[in-house]
Chain A
């Protein structure tokens, strides 16, 4: 797929869909994943970091109150919801593209990218998105440097109701159904939105991180997702 074609697909099947389903999405995605919670709560006071693709900002209230998070998303509708989540002290929000991030290199103690990179439609763009997550991190040996947590949907989710598994196609359209009654007594109107996902197979996230110049320091699988903690 060409770059232009990929961007068009993301525009139609990622950005526009999230803008339309923002309020529904916001009511359903409330449960933080344990790995993300553990990562955010392990950060020392005074840490400054990024939440790239913050969605409705559900992680802004999970982090410990001594840290500062600048949270961005491509969807202005989701950022408006996230704005209400920015706690008095420790967070702020902005609208930004995941690849064209408006932040200086090497100044951040941490970054999180939760359920974001799998929405980019070519490998080159996914590697660019990972590079963009890593670019902001402080350089330095081991604990001296910043670290990023990246979380993507797995192809291997035989146990889930979707039933994808090893060997299946990795590029899928996932339906999102919204129902609403226009007026009392009328029939429900059903609308199906299709979101694009690239489902990561085992080991692929680590390959993308390496291609982006990062070093994986910890990784694993949690509830239908692959995750990795990486440094520059």
Chain B
């Protein structure tokens, strides 16, 4: 699972979806069975792609996810970029590219702050199916 995807997923439990605590899911508590494992996977760099996707990102949520995964380098607010191809913007776009698209979460767990349900990621695939008792 790409780190970017963590910015677009939340708890599947219906009762949680009405509360702001269901997003983002948290990486702060990992289990011994499925310890957190990150990997770097090369992806062709496209400054336009990052530039275009930037307005779609929930920045406060990204800050939380990045911090929980050990990255404290992000600015506090969405970077303001006018021209994605200007040389002075290359570094920040490259950094975001590396963080959002090249950081693969190979395995680990994500926790809902509201109901504490844990969602596992294995073989780089997150599983959001709920056990029967949580489905309303």
Contacts of B13 in A (CB 8 A): 100
A112 to chain B, nearest CB (A): 15
- Given known contacts A100-B14, A103-B9, A107-B58, A95 and B126 CB-to-CB distance under 8 angstroms: yes
- Closest B residue, CB atoms, query A87: B43
The 8 A CB mask of A57-76 against B (1 = contact, 0 = none) is 00000000110101010101
Chain B residues 12-64 with CB under 8 Å of chain A are 12-14, 17, 23, 41-44, 46, 48-49, 51-53, 55-56, 58
A95 to B120, CA, bound (A): 10
A161 to B126, CA, bound (A): 39
Contacts of A80 in B (CB 8 A): 123, 125
In the complex, the answer to whether B52 meets A45 with C-beta atoms within 8 Å is yes
Contacts of B17 in A (CB 8 A): 105
In the complex, the answer to whether B5 meets A94 with C-beta atoms within 8 Å is yes
- Given known contacts A76-B127, A104-B23, A105-B17, A97 and B56 CB-to-CB distance under 8 angstroms: no
Contacts of B10 in A (CB 8 A): 102-104
Cβ of B118 under 8 Å from chain A: no
Cβ-defined partner of B12 (8 Å) among A88, A90, A97, A108: A97
Contacts of B128 in A (CB 8 A): 72, 94-97, 100, 102
Cβ of B98 under 8 Å from chain A: no
Query: A-B contact count, CB below 8 Å?
Result: 97
- Given known contacts A89-B44, A100-B14, A103-B9, A66 and B52 CB-to-CB distance under 8 angstroms: yes
Chain A residues 14-69 with CB under 8 Å of chain B are 45-46, 48, 65-66, 68
Contacts of A45 in B (CB 8 A): 48-49, 52
A100 to B131, CA, bound (A): 12
In the complex, the answer to whether B12 meets A68 with C-beta atoms within 8 Å is no
In the complex, the answer to whether B9 meets A70 with C-beta atoms within 8 Å is yes
A93 to B119, CA, bound (A): 14
Contacts of A101 in B (CB 8 A): 12
Cβ of A92 under 8 Å from chain B: yes
User: Interface extent on A, as a size class?
Assistant: 20 to 34
The dominant DSSP class at the A interface is: loop
A46 to B53, CA, bound (A): 5
Contacts of B58 in A (CB 8 A): 104, 107
B126 to chain A, nearest CB (A): 4
A103 to B41, CA, bound (A): 25
- Given known contacts A83-B125, A96-B129, A107-B56, A66 and B5 CB-to-CB distance under 8 angstroms: no
Cβ of B114 under 8 Å from chain A: no
Cβ of B135 under 8 Å from chain A: yes
A84 to chain B, nearest CB (A): 11
Cβ of A79 under 8 Å from chain B: yes
Contacts of B1 in A (CB 8 A): 92, 94
In the complex, the answer to whether A100 meets B8 with C-beta atoms within 8 Å is no
Interfacial residues, chain A to chain B (CB-CB below 8 A): 45-46, 48, 65-66, 68, 70, 72, 74, 76, 79-80, 83, 88-90, 92-97, 100-105, 107-109
For the complex with contacts A46-B51, A100-B14, 16 further pairs of A-B residues with Cβ separation under 8 Å are A46-B55, A48-B53, A48-B56, A66-B46, A88-B44, A89-B49, A93-B125, A94-B9, A94-B128, A95-B125, A95-B128, A97-B130, A102-B10, A103-B8, A105-B17, A108-B8
Interfacial residues, chain B to chain A (CB-CB below 8 A): 1-2, 4-5, 8-14, 17, 23, 41-44, 46, 48-49, 51-53, 55-56, 58, 101, 119, 123-130, 135
